[in-house]
Structure 1
């Protein structure tokens, strides 16, 4: 017994050492940017623009990625400032063009007269002005002052477009900086990725295995929740706060500052090259770590719930779908020069499914691409209502979904932190259905733009709606909050309050499904385990005490409430839809009907 405990502690020590090495990689880069690397990345024309301000960077070796990134961004900013001063159109041109007008009517010929000098700058200015004023041709104004004001607005828009057309936009700087830092990195991680993959990834996995496996001998089968609410990791203690802070910080860097994660990306480069033949990006790193988290914590889940066949099979299912369908198959498809696709993901969770670049990519890839498009549409049009009718939303949320898989494995230690209050339930219904409506409106706008070519629908810019959804829901809600808040609000924050697919599945489950959780109220001893460990914030005990079926739209059918019940009161069933609702409530040995 003592030897098993020693192995248990050794595993924890090894894990901590490996995780510390993982964090240390954040500071181990060494960067030497070469001129040919810069030209290859941004092109000869733009290199001439940035050549002067970038000279200091090209002649310096940096040991700090923070300094290197700062110097790179300063060089891009200086190049943009130089570009703006070179191409900017003076607002005086507005009065000059307006003065040429006859009867306060605008004509393109006035621009030709104003921009009469023959030079590259004037040619570009001339073409931009003509493009931005084409809608004004032949239009009459009340006065020259009114025409001048309109032209001043046009000139302001042209000047604002300079960076996008000629220079380095914020998005371009973000992507270019990431690519340049990756190429310029000559540090220990870049030169020894396999070694660091072992030290920072495999070592923690070995430590986790040594920490988890002794539980097979140290604990008998069955769930042990002793001291859960006195545990610093599981009850919003200092350790849980650190874990939450790390997860939130990780997602912020992933979505908004990926350039600072280069050493981690370098570490998984060999794995990406083996699978897809392409260098790793921050998204490959994310998928790699995401999959590992589900696999390692999935083993923990199986050990913890090894008394329950349902839990073991369900956990194995999410591990299988994440590893195969979400991680390996998309990478292998890329190696085969086919469109990458996670066949288990679907709209509206996969909110970019109908974006033009996705549709064009699928349609341009012949039979397989068209099949993928049809599969994606059939999955949410036919798959959701059919399978949810037969099995409830658990067929996806608890057996297939990657978000649910991470919540059930990595997030399992925090399931008891979900808010069971009526206030939380009311907010949940408003929040999750609002996101669903947002997703539908955004997708309608995307499809309208795709088929019509117009970016304006009902007075709204469809690209702005898409960008707002991507930032607010796709990044902040589902990532930063959805996962980062596990130690604060429980493991199903995203699934409960934000996932539009969960909302869609829930609507079907609530009103047309064979699935329900039946309760034997006469056996309930009101211990409260079921409610405590319900990750979706359902007060299961309230239903159990009354012998009422649980048919809540939010229920993901994870079955943990049944697994933690000491009396076998709860049972997950798929039966005839008749009788799901209006079940009698128990009062002692008697029952009385309840009418909705």
Structure 2
């Protein structure tokens, strides 16, 4: 009978880190107090105190945890902590996130008198900020946008400290922070302030599926010059710029540099990237889900345009019902409740991997038409598994690295974390010529191949 040696105890958390985490916990408690307090002035006090405590606590903890230590991926003890190994803390976090999304989508609608259901006491403290930015009171979506942007910025700062040794990750993280703050939060608000349509220039069809629906296009065209430009921008970005940029840079130009969904996954979701399922069964489910979802939204868009061209007589109410069904099942349940709520259980790219139609579109372009690949040198691989562990898209990178095979997968978002985690410099992100794109590295040694066999 053999006994495995006992695992060493987890290192103690320094008192200074505990103090900053206590500040974050105090901020979460203040949010609960804002929810429970019926007095409007105290609601504002609790709400803004909560944001101050959560923001300052997160920044201070990130600096102490990563800014004062050597930079790097730092896998240590991830599978031993309850917060990052599907333990009790992870499940509690997942339930809290899922509960927030359920309340946001189905229990916070405006009743017509400025009341927003269960989130009412969190929405109104933002009225002043919303009036200054958008020229109108806050609603549940402005609250969500504020929380979302704050999460990307705060956890983005954490990523900047953690990966400060890599110029690629510094620029990439700064990019998603910029696009979320500027293009997905401030600019749409300013457009509303000037009585223009709310428009997100960093989201395109088929991800922002309704931007090419006949009703949206018609409404924008009626708005005049800016509306015409918005329609032009959406069409060009979806059908011209996306193929061209993906040809040269792979899907990373969008999924890891621009997209708000990817931005949240790369910042707030970074502690959970190792949880993605690397099994072949998960890959089969990925194929079974993401491409049919892309086909569904393409079909709905085409049918709506045919319906529009025939004078709205072809489909009756069926076209609108299909669009609403898609918005509920995919736009709300999948991308929100599951896509973010399940971060601590299934990893940070559940939506991007299994449901996002934009990721499917970009993935097909990347796999079959792009110059992008991750080259490998199997002769240098020591099979440590660091690369596979950090892949949030469920790719078993180690299997490619051992054989010196280039990684050309539709799922890969080009985050570059596998290359950063590799201690031997085996993996390199390249935008090379298409000739020889699928060939294994000539540097792999015959001995390595025999060992793998």
Asked if these proteins are the same fold (TM beyond 0.5), I'd say yes
1:439-454 → structure 2 map (5 Å cutoff): 439-454=297-312
SS of the residue 2:204 aligns to:
coil
Q: Which residue does 1:354 correspond to in 2?
A: 212
Q: Which residue of 2 aligns with 1:125?
A: none
Larger RCO, structures 1/2 (Cα 8 Å, 6+ apart): 2
Pick one of 178, 187, 190 that aligns with 1:320.
178
Q: What is the distance in 2 between the residues matched to 1:225 and 1:584?
A: 28
For 1:561, the equivalent position in structure 2 comes to: 418
Change (3 A) 1:210 1:406: same
Question: What does 1:98-109 align with in structure 2 at a 5 Å threshold?
Answer: none
Check the 8 A contact 1:432/1:496 in 2, yes or no.
yes
Is contact 1:318–1:401 with CA below 8 Å preserved after alignment?
yes
Counterpart among 240, 243, 254 of residue 93 in structure 2: 243
Q: In structure 2, do the counterparts of structure 1 residues 197 and 455 end up closer, same or farther at CA, with 3 Å as the change threshold?
A: farther
Is 1:464 the equivalent of 2:337?
Answer: no
| Structure 1 residues 310 and 470: CA distance shift in structure 2, 3 A | same
What's 1:340 paired with? 198
- Counterparts of 1:583 and 1:220, CA distance in 2: 34
Aligned to 2:18: 9
What number of residue pairs does the alignment pair up?
429
| CA offset digits 1:182-206 (Å, max 9, x no partner) | xxxxxx2x33565234212122101
Instruction: Say whether the 8 Å CA contact 1:10–1:210 is kept in structure 2.
Output: no
Q: 1:323 to 1:407 in 2, by over 3 A?
A: same
Measured in 2, the distance between the counterparts of 1:590 and 1:566 equals 18
Work out which of the two has the higher radius of gyration on C-alpha atoms and give 1 or 2: 1
1:482, CA displacement in angstroms? 0.7
Show CA shifts across 1:386-438 (max 9, x none).
Answer: 00000000000000000000011111111111000011111101110010011
Matched, 1:520 2:381: no
Secondary structure of the structure 1 residue equivalent to 2:430: strand
1:216-251 per-position Cα deviation (integer Å, ceiling 9, x unaligned): 564212222111000111110000001100111011
1:356/1:193 CA distance change after superposition, 3 Å: farther
Give the TM-score normalised by the residue count of structure 1: 0.70
SS in 1 for 2:418: helix
Distance 1:521 1:282, change over 3 A: same
CA contact (8 A) 1:14 1:204 kept: yes
Q: Please give the root-mean-square deviation of Cα atoms over the aligned residues, in Å.
A: 1.8
- 1:21 is matched with 30
Asked if 2 retains the 8 angstrom alpha-carbon contact of 1:515 and 1:574, the reply is yes
**Which residue matches 2:158?**
300
User: Which residue of 451, 466, 473 maps to 2:330?
Assistant: 473
Alpha carbons of 1:208 and 1:519: their partners in 2 closer, same or farther (altered >3 Å)? same
- For structure 2, which runs of at least 5 residues remain unmatched after alignment? 1-12, 109-116
Query: Which runs of structure 2 are paired with 1:43-54 in the superposition (5 Å)?
Result: none
TM-score (structure 2 length as normaliser): 0.91
CA distance in 2, matches of 1:300, 1:445: 45
* Residues 15 and 203 in structure 1, CA contact (< 8 A), matched pair in contact too: yes
Instruction: Give the C-alpha shift of residue 306 in structure 1.
Output: 1.4
Residue deviations 1:155-197 (CA, integer Å, cap 9, x gap): xxxxxxxxxxxxxxxxxxxxxxxxxxxxxxxxx2x33565234
SS in 2 for 1:572: strand
